[in-house]
Amino acid sequence: MLTVNERVIHIRKVNGDSQKDLAEYLHISNQALCKWEKGKINVPSWAIKMICERYHVSADYMLGIGK
């Protein structure tokens, strides 16, 4: 099962976005996104919401809830 951090990487790559693309969308630095993706810092709830909106996925998917 993928962690939230791993799902951020997966969904970003599936959609052809670079770290820079997603960081700009979230109004954060590339370094902050890198820390999220490496699991050094938990992805904040506001960012999960924005990622869901950008990539048209549910919060349940991002959090690994359900089937």
Query: Can you tell me the distance from the alpha carbon of 39 to that of 55, in angstroms, rounded to the nearest whole number?
Result: 20
pLDDT tens digits, residue range 11-64?
A: 999 999 999 999 999 999 999 999 999 999 999 999 999 999 999 999 999 999
Q: What is the pTM of this model?
A: 0.91
Q: Checking phi first, is residue 56 left (phi over 0); if not, alpha (psi -120 to 50) or beta?
A: left
CB atoms within 10 A of CB 49: 12
Q: For tokens 């050094």, what's the residue?
A: 40
